[in-house]
Amino acid sequence: MKKEIHPQYFPNCKVTCACGNTFTLGATVSELRVEICSNCHPIYTGKVKYIDTAGRLDKFKTRMEKSRSIKEGTAKK
């Protein structure tokens, strides 16, 4: 392994989140500032909003039925 090519490793890097949460970890910089962490992320806190896929499916089914009825109406003529 070549010497002098690897960055310096800081085992106690201080990480500060925008929400105010701080913790330490190992990194190649001495201090990090992040916008979001596991303390304020919606998935980890349980505040995630899911898209109502059932409503979309119902809209799709009504469009398909309307399309089928139009096709059947033109086929009978």
Query: Was 13 annotated as part of a binding site?
Result: no
Q: pLDDT band at 9, cuts 50/70/90?
A: very high
Pairing of strands 31-34, 10-17: parallel
Residues 14, 31: contact at Cβ < 8 Å? yes
Its domain, for residue 47, covers 10-71
**Adjacent-strand bridge partners of 10:** 27
Residues 13, 30: contact at Cβ < 8 Å? yes
- Report, as an integer, the average pLDDT of 28-38: 92
Q: Give me the CATH number covering residue 49.
A: 4.10.80.400
Task: Tell whether 44 is covered by a domain.
Answer: yes
Query: Was 19 annotated as part of a binding site?
Result: yes
What's 7's DSSP letter?
P
- Provide φ and ψ at 56, rounded to 5°: -70, -40
73 has a pLDDT exceeding 80 = no
Q: pLDDT band at 23, cuts 50/70/90?
A: very high
Residues 16, 32: contact at Cβ < 8 Å? yes
Tens-digit pLDDT profile for residues 44-55:
777 776 666 667
